[in-house]
Structure 1
Amino acid sequence: MTLQFSFTHQFDSQHFDIQGELPAKGVTAVFGRSGSGKSTLLNVLSGLLTPQSGHVKLNQLTMLDTQHNTHIPVWKRKVAVVFQDARLFPHLSIKDNLLFGAAKHGADVRLAELTALLGIDHLLQAKPNTLSGGEKQRVAIARALLSDPQLLLMDEPLASLDIPRKREVIQYLNQLSSKIEIPIVYVTHSLEEVMHLADHLLVLESGKVVDFGNVETVWNSGTLALWQEGERHSTLLNAKVAERHERYAMRRMKVADHNLWVPDQGLADKVGQCMRIRINAQDVSVTLSQNSDSSIRNRIPVSIVDISAINAHSNLITLKLDDQLLLKSTLTQWATEELNLTLGLKVYAQIKGVSFTQQNLASY
């Protein structure tokens, strides 16, 4: 079962021609600059906009088919939307807000489950004006799910939150996405949110889909280069917790056939658990030999597959981990020339830092 869509639409000088087929479960992030078509896609999926031509099909239900004059209106689609602002009724309690528009069958059971899952069960008697921004957004998410939708659309739900509140909501969204059996389409301007939340990534540019796939593949493909200029280049990899060091607060992560020792950071994950990790290009240096006198714990044999200029004094070096996995490093032009780095040369990547997402992966 999938979410399928294909439509064309014209707004003055803006033309949109967007097609896609998204998985029936998990979070698909929709990413792109302003005007690329993110909001237009959400409006077509929700029914708020009828395109000039196209179709939308969710599982076996055709919600839109302009050729056959089929159009299920907004209020009849089993689609829920979470906006940037929570849009709660200020005169109602949180419980009454949650039950407003909720599907009647099994509402009490779903209310108890969702409020516990999203950590808002202690707020049911409160009024919206007493809640933090993060709490309001969690209430808005629960309210959307209580309508028993078959599709959840999220329109930059964290955009108005400060960083601590964003992290708070992301933690709950991670738990939520693994529990519900419906597709979530998540529009965002933030690569951090993509990294932490998404299973799949759809990239829009000038009204067209320019890339789609699992997050790691799209992230590492070069499609996002415009948003990862200079030292902000990074690589996303799936890794498995292999062991914890018996003496030091470190753990060994397995990436393909390579090992990375990283700080334990007090995370609750267990040996054997899979996680997504990010390695920033500025945290990767290159050496011609496996220097055992270095303070850097992680030295991995790699080969150089690409050298491209970032600017007049820096290069982006692409390093091959295995047949499928690549790593990126930013080096000065001076270092590149002094080490005589060339395509195909076998070197060692020294990895100084690794960032973890809050997303735990079932396997890889």
Structure 2
Amino acid sequence: MIRIKYKKRMNEFLLDVDFKMPEKGVTVLFGPSGSGKTSVLNLMAGLNENEENIQQSEFSLNGKIIDDLNNKINIEPWLRNVAYVFQDHRLFPHMTTEENILFGYKRRKSELNPDELVEKFKIKELLNHRPDQLSGGQKQRVAMVRALLSQPELIILDEPLSALDYQSRQELLPYIECIHKELNIPMIYVSHDIKEVLRLADYIVVMDKGNIIDQGDIADLCITQPLLTQEEGASFILKGTVSKIITEDKLVQLDCGENILITAENMQLDQKLRILIHARDVSLCLSQPKDSSILNCIPIIIDELQTDKNGKLRVMAKIGKQTMVSLISHRSAHQLNIEKGKKMFAQFKATAMIK
């Protein structure tokens, strides 16, 4: 695990974070605007303003101490082996694409092949262009290749899609997935877009007002952290594989231990998906209803009942090995005689999912 611990007096609050991130995959820093996410990234990258306000710093990477205030260790930014992809790309405006991507490569002697990355990120036709001749999505692809060719041990991405339109964001996401799936470089990624988090996150750290309020696997945190999904009550994630595409109805069948239907297009067979469902959108029943517009009605086994702070009942149940949640009233629970171990059915619309 990579250890990150910083305390710094900010203008509006005390930034006080202490967390560990896995050495593989994508760790997402998630939280509302102004919660301190970018400040944490800047400290990790060594881009520190007002260093006199730093009260504590501990950051090590692959056994190398990067920051340690107590021992007066503060490695210069260019020696940290940490690459940073910013919201606004920050390419050198006087350089061509080729000159930009080779800037770090010449200094670090990367083991990655520039020609292969140029092909993978589809920027071959852009090599002679300057940044002002590129679209927003093209600039970010160039910025990612430049970061990779600097031979980083960690890549920091600060909301790299936030300035792009929807289509450009969708086009860029596969390239970000490629970094950790094919190139095996750990990433720490800032976002407050739950769809990005669903698609990318392996591990998540939730921040608010300068503090870490929770961290862990995204499937667990969706249930316990309303801040993550910005929903009252709980939400939950189901992981599955596309097993059937029903083109005429614009539906996809997803194998999650049980087959469920979701509204989706442009999916591929055997594609792996994570879908988010809000607990308030799930109803429970004792038998499968007939003549209903709700397409999903799947068998479940009740696992746990919890009363939330608003007096509603949170019902946890198993779909195979995965956990689902329904938010219902106590009267409904009494009428259906819901208890641990009871076999029931869960209903939710094919449209009631975020993917």
- TM-score, L = length of structure 2: 0.84
Identity %: 33
**Residues 37 and 207 in structure 1, CA contact (< 8 A), matched pair in contact too:** yes
User: In the alignment, which of 317, 320, 333 is matched to residue 320 of structure 1?
Assistant: 317
Q: Which residue of 1 aligns with 2:198?
A: 195
Q: Which residue of 1 aligns with 2:217?
A: 214
Shift of 1:96: 1.2
Q: Which residue of 2 aligns with 1:92?
A: 95
Q: Which residue of 2 aligns with 1:134?
A: 137
- 1:284-295 map, 5 Å: 284-295=282-293
Deviations 1:226-248 (A, max 9, x none): 742259x6421222345678x99
* Residues 1:306 and 1:170: Cα distance change in structure 2 (over 3 Å): same
Q: Which residue of 2 aligns with 1:31?
A: 30
Give the unaligned 5+ runs of structure 2.
none
* Residues 1:120 and 1:224: Cα distance change in structure 2 (over 3 Å): farther
SS in structure 1 opposite 2:105? Answer: coil
Question: Which range is displaced more, 319-328 or 125-134?
Answer: 319-328
For 2:262 and 2:244, the matched residues in 1 are separated by 11
**Residues 280 and 353 in structure 1, CA contact (< 8 A), matched pair in contact too:** no
* Residues 1:147 and 1:260: Cα distance change in structure 2 (over 3 Å): same
* Residues 1:285 and 1:242: Cα distance change in structure 2 (over 3 Å): same
**Residues 102 and 147 in structure 1, CA contact (< 8 A), matched pair in contact too:** yes
Q: Which residue of 1 aligns with 2:347?
A: 350
Deviations 1:259-291 (A, max 9, x none): 324467342242xx6432223446533333212
For 2:327 and 2:187, the matched residues in 1 are separated by 35
Q: Which residue of 2 aligns with 1:300?
A: 298
Shift of 1:294: 3.3
Shift of 1:31: 0.8
For 1:34 and 1:242, the matched residues in 2 are separated by 38
Shift of 1:295: 4.6
**Residues 288 and 339 in structure 1, CA contact (< 8 A), matched pair in contact too:** no
* Residues 1:24 and 1:284: Cα distance change in structure 2 (over 3 Å): same
Aligned pairs, how many?
346
**Residues 261 and 297 in structure 1, CA contact (< 8 A), matched pair in contact too:** yes
- 1:1-364 map, 5 Å: 2-49=1-48, 50=51, 51-104=54-107, 110-220=113-223, 222-225=224-227, 227-229=229-231, 234-242=235-243, 252-256=253-257, 258-262=258-262, 265-270=265-270, 274-281=272-279, 283-302=281-300, 303=302, 305-306=305-306, 318-321=315-318, 325-329=322-326, 340=335, 343-344=338-339, 347-353=344-350, 355=353, 357=355
**Residues 151 and 182 in structure 1, CA contact (< 8 A), matched pair in contact too:** yes
For 1:337 and 1:305, the matched residues in 2 are separated by 13
For 1:338 and 1:318, the matched residues in 2 are separated by 9
Deviations 1:113-134 (A, max 9, x none): 2222222222112222222111
**Residues 307 and 343 in structure 1, CA contact (< 8 A), matched pair in contact too:** no
* Residues 1:281 and 1:68: Cα distance change in structure 2 (over 3 Å): same
**Residues 287 and 344 in structure 2, CA contact (< 8 A), matched pair in contact too:** yes
Shift of 1:176: 2.4
SS in structure 2 opposite 1:54? Answer: strand
Deviations 1:160-186 (A, max 9, x none): 111111111112212222122221010
SS in structure 2 opposite 1:340? Answer: helix
Shift of 1:310: 7.1
For 1:7 and 1:261, the matched residues in 2 are separated by 45
SS in structure 2 opposite 1:112? Answer: helix
SS in structure 2 opposite 1:147? Answer: coil
Please provide the CA RMSD for this pair.
3.3
Deviations 1:22-54 (A, max 9, x none): 111111000112332212211221112253222
Shift of 1:143: 0.9
Give the unaligned 5+ runs of structure 1.
358-364
* Residues 1:177 and 1:254: Cα distance change in structure 2 (over 3 Å): same
Shift of 1:139: 0.9
